[in-house]
Chains A and B, each alone.
Chain A
Amino acid sequence: AQKVTQAQTEISVVEKEDVTLDCVYETRDTTYYLFWYKQPPSGELVFLIRRNSFDEQNEISGRYSWNFQKSTSSFNFTITASQVVDSAVYFCALSEDNTNAGKSTFGDGTTLTVKP
């Protein structure tokens, strides 16, 4: 069984602060995929990143960066110089390698509020 834990239910920061959203996962598979999604108030799920279990390289995309550490089963997400538009619910998700039914298990989400 797979499980994703996002320990931070809510985070509030002031604009321009850096913020890290934590994600810890559990899986028995050796091959799996990790995702981060952003869900703004409008409700759609916006894909941010996908990582497979064999690629532990950290990634940076603009103000976003991700730190994947298999040793601690963590896949943390950092927003640098946060902006008000970053306010949203962020979900970390795990999908096991199954070519026919790789359903995703989501964490409970972290609500990020960025204040001006």
Chain B
Amino acid sequence: AAGVIQSPRHLIKEKRETATLKCYPIPRHDTVYWYQQGPGQDPQFLISFYEKMQSDKGSIPDRFSAQQFSDYHSELNMSSLELGDSALYFCASSEASYNEQFFGPGTRLTVL
């Protein structure tokens, strides 16, 4: 069965650079969630989209932005990267009518 795809799987950036993480949800899933998991921490909700509109917002820094496109894939854009942005970023998708999130494998971002 198709799963959530995230790219890239690993990303190394320098401070103050920008990064774009991509998420391709399971086919027919209309909702996408982004989570950030710092070292030794639990995943923290950043933002979600339903039918290409932002549906909820968590602890997402102003330096980050995200959107969901017409094909339902989503991109998380991160600017002015800081050392503290080094984390595992998970994307999850779901069908709005069935509350179960399917997580992608994550993108490990390292900021040097």
Q: A residues within 8 Å of B by Cβ? A: 33, 37, 43-45, 47, 50, 52, 91, 95, 97-109
Contact = CB atoms under 8 A, between A and B. Distances in A.
The binding surface of chain B is classed by DSSP as: strand
B55 A101 contact: yes
Contact of B55 (A37, A95, A100, A107): A100
Contacts of A108: 41-42
Contacts of A100: 31, 50, 55-56, 96
A45 B35 CA distance: 12
A76 B35 CA distance: 24
Interface residues on B, range: 20 to 34
Interface of B: 31, 33, 35, 41-45, 48, 50, 55-56, 58, 88, 90, 92, 94, 96-97, 99-103, 105-106, 108
Contacts of A109: 42
A104 B88 contact: no
B45 A43 contact: no
Contacts of A107: 42
A43 B43 CA distance: 11
Nearest 3 pairs of A and B residues by beta carbon: A101-B56, A101-B55, A106-B42
